[in-house]
Amino acid sequence: MRLQGKVAVITGGGSGIGRATALLFAREGARIAVVDRDEAGANETVSQIAAAGGAALSRTGDVGEPGFADGVVETVMAHFGRIDSLVTAAGFSCGGTVTTTAPEDWDAVFRANVGGTFLFAKAAIPAMQRQGFGSIVTFASQLALAGGRGNSAYIAAKGAILSLTRTMALDYAADGIRVNAVAPGAIDTPMLRRSFARHAEPEPIREASRNRHAMKRFGAADEVANAVLYLASDEASFVTGTVLPVDGGWLAA
Ligand SMILES: NC(=O)c1ccc[n+]([C@@H]2O[C@H](COP(=O)([O-])OP(=O)(O)OC[C@H]3O[C@@H](n4cnc5c(N)ncnc54)[C@H](O)[C@@H]3O)[C@@H](O)[C@H]2O)c1
């Protein structure tokens, strides 16, 4: 098992890629803290881990709310005694160009995606520094590297996460902490389905998105989870400050 004896905090663990990552990490021997604002989703992930013989706890709240991450880290340290991996998958998009995005939506998207990454890293890093070991995996998007239309706040937020990932990699390398990002293509999760549903005619948009990938399909949450596992595990011991696209060839085109 690749994470035997390790402890992972996974934000956004109540759905989609975060849940797939939590289940995979647990199968690989890690104890998991599932963090999500969706209590039922987080509890369902914990139940699935427990049913498979793993150990997990859940914490419900908004990752962008100052103070929430500190409480989660305190709980995890009390229950599990260490934090080896932090995976910041919590996030959402609202859609819209600059002219159609309301300032409140811009703030909400930045608060969850960038703020959540910042606050959870800020809370977990001191524990990792004390251990002299840690791995953080953040969530960007292929759109932060390639650009994209009609999703300004989200794509800008994912770009900020990439920059934050690099600065953290530099700031904490000497502490034995590695920090990397994944950049998923379009992955078949509730978020992707919601984003197509925002359009008056979703089907042509969905088809165009699928065909934009060289592999002419959407990714599965498990396919991203496998990349997160690699970055979190000791197999990536000389990998930091980088971004790993998991995009079916989107960026190659
Ligand atoms: N699905 C895709 O096509 C795709 C592509 C590129 C990047 N991503 C990124 O992958 C990550 C996971 O996305 P997904 O597709 O699994 O989405 P999802 O909607 O299935 O899961 C995201 C989870 O995050 C939680 N969440 C959102 N905002 C939160 C907040 N403020 N506080 C606490 N929890 C919050 C949601 O409740 C949900 O359970 C996100 O960061 C997303 O931006 C997804």
Q: What percent of the chain is predicted at pLDDT more than 70?
A: 100
CA–CA distance, 86 with 131 (Å, rounded to integer): 14
Tell me which residue has its CA closest to atom 14 in ligand 1. 16
CA 113 to ligand 1: nearest atom: 41
**Is the minimum distance from the CB of 23 to ligand 1 under 6 angstroms?**
no
Closest CA to 156 of 66, 212, 80, 96: 96
* Helices and strands, counts by H and E, the chain: 10, 7
**Is the minimum distance from the CB of 219 to ligand 1 under 6 angstroms?**
no
φ, ψ at 16 (rounded to 5°): 50, -130
One CATH from 2.60.40.290, 3.40.50.300, 3.40.50.720, 3.40.50.2300 for 7-252: 3.40.50.720
**Is the minimum distance from the CB of 13 to ligand 1 under 6 angstroms?**
no
In one-letter notation, the amino acid at residue 49 is I
pLDDT tens across 190-229, in order? 999 999 999 999 999 999 999 999 999 999 999 999 999 9
Q: What percent of the chain is predicted at pLDDT more than 90?
A: 100
| Banded pLDDT at 243 (limits 50, 70, 90) | very high
pLDDT tens across 85-143, in order? 999 999 999 999 999 999 999 999 999 999 999 999 999 999 999 999 999 999 999 99
Model pLDDT, residue 174: 98
**Is the minimum distance from the CB of 92 to ligand 1 under 6 angstroms?**
yes
Residue 140 alpha carbon to ligand 1 centre in Å: 11
- C-alpha of 167 from chain center: 17
The two three-digit tokens of residue 65, written as one number: 């709310």
Model pLDDT, residue 92: 97
Residue 174 alpha carbon to ligand 1 centre in Å: 30
| Mean pLDDT, range 38-57, rounded to an integer | 98
In whole angstroms, how far apart are CA 140 and each of 47, 182, 214, 224, 253? 28, 6, 20, 12, 19
DSSP string, 8-37: EEEETTTSHHHHHHHHHHHHTT-EEEEEES
Element (H, E) at 198: none
| Mean pLDDT, range 146-174, rounded to an integer | 98
| Banded pLDDT at 43 (limits 50, 70, 90) | very high
The two three-digit tokens of residue 154, written as one number: 């989200």
Residue 52 alpha carbon to ligand 1 centre in Å: 24
Residue 179 alpha carbon to ligand 1 centre in Å: 19
In whole angstroms, how far apart are CA 75 and each of 17, 68, 126, 134, 167? 23, 11, 15, 18, 27
